[in-house]
């Protein structure tokens, strides 16, 4: 059995010792996923990969009543936490009280180039919420692929499905999202 799965199965809600054992095993993978995701964010993004991982970890660890059933369940929760952090950040940046569309500059921060504007990120998030009500498993796959940046193979392993199934689900999901976002605009 995978060491991550063993710790998850042995831990009880609120077990600080389990969290201490789990973090070293998942930290590098979470950081790699955060780097991949932030590489696709808009210019001027003030979140750094380390900050994104730490914030996601604090949210995961802070929910003392949550217990993860498997490695896939844990990484799904991590993907959701990262997604929510990025969405909250995009909404905060768009808020009028923060200067609306004006860009904040921080000379100390290293900026990461992006190809996904905040508007697209918000549209995808809204569509994802709708999709999750319709098909939770495929929505989980989208979170892992789009918001965390996992490959088809990594996603299939995390979700404990075959790679061909993950490819079919990804193709279906992409088509559904294209239609949904086109109808939303």
Contact 79, 17 (CB under 8 A): no
| pLDDT (mean) for 97-114 | 50
Task: Assign 45 a pLDDT band (cuts: 50, 70, 90).
Answer: low
**Domain that residue 64 falls in:** 3-184
Kindly write down the DSSP assignment for every residue of 88-116, as one continuous string.
Answer: HHHHHHHSGGGTTTPPP--TTSPP---S-
Which residue bears the tokens 């979140």? Answer: 47
pLDDT at 112: 41
Residue 171 has pLDDT above 80, yes or no: yes
pTM for the predicted model, two decimal places: 0.55
Q: From the CB of residue 67, how many other CB atoms can be counted at a distance below 10 Å? A: 16
| pLDDT (mean) for 103-112 | 48
Q: What's the chain's average pLDDT?
A: 77
**10 or 138, greater pLDDT:** 138
Task: Find the distance separating the first CA and the last CA of the chain, reported in whole Å.
Answer: 47
Task: Assign 170 a pLDDT band (cuts: 50, 70, 90).
Answer: very high
Task: Assign 110 a pLDDT band (cuts: 50, 70, 90).
Answer: very low
Tally of domains in the chain:
1
């Amino acid at each position: 059995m995978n060491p991550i799965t063993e710790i998850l199965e042995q831990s009880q809600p609120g077990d600080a010792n389990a969290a201490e054992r789990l973090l070293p095993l998942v930290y590098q993978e979470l950081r790699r996923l955060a780097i991949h995701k932030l590489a696709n964010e808009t210019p001027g993004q003030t979140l750094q990969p380390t900050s994104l991982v730490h914030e996601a970890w604090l949210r995961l660890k802070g929910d003392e009543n949550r217990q993860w059933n498997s490695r896939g369940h844990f990484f799904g929760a991590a993907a959701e936490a990262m997604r929510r952090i990025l969405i909250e950040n995009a909404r905060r940046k768009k808020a009028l009280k923060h200067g609306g569309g004006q860009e904040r500059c921080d000379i100390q921060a290293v900026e990461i180039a992006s190809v996904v504007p905040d508007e697209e990120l918000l549209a995808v998030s809204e569509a994802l919420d709708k999709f999750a009500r319709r098909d939770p498993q495929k929505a989980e796959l989208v979170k892992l692929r789009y918001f965390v940046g996992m490959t088809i193979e990594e996603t299939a392993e995390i979700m404990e499905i075959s790679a061909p199934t993950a490819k079919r689900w990804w193709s279906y999901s992409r088509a559904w999202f294209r239609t949904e976002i086109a109808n939303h605009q």
